[in-house]
């Protein structure tokens, strides 16, 4: 991997992961029942959506890794 590609990945990943963590923290702030009215179904929908998106992102990384290493058949 070229150094520029690595530097770009680290820079963008750091920025994007920190933004995602901040957004998740803000979602957690919605748990304050004195300020917000919500039900268990609402909470389930939020976390289902977040988990599905995490799973989709993880699959993209897994697929990229599989493409890089090849997908050869083996009984091992």
30 or 65, which is more confident: 30
Q: Which residue has the tokens 């990943």?
A: 13
Q: Which residue has the higher pLDDT, 57 or 74?
A: 57
- Rounded CA separation 59/56 (Å): 5
Residue 1 pLDDT > 80, yes or no? no
- Average pLDDT of span 31-35: 97
For the chain, what's the residue count?
Answer: 76
Answer whether 46's CB lies under 8 Å from 27's CB: yes
State the pLDDT confidence band at 16, using cuts at 50, 70 and 90. very high
pLDDT band at 73 (very low <50, low <70, confident <90, very high): confident
């Amino acid at each position: 991997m070229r150094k520029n590609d690595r530097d770009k990945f680290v820079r963008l990943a750091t920025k994007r992961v920190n933004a995602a963590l901040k957004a998740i923290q803000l979602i957690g702030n919605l748990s304050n029942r004195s300020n917000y009215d919500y039900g268990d179904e609402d909470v389930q929908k939020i976390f289902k959506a977040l988990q599905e998106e995490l799973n989709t992102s993880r699959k993209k990384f897994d697929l990229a890794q599989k493409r890089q290493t090849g997908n050869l058949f083996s009984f091992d």
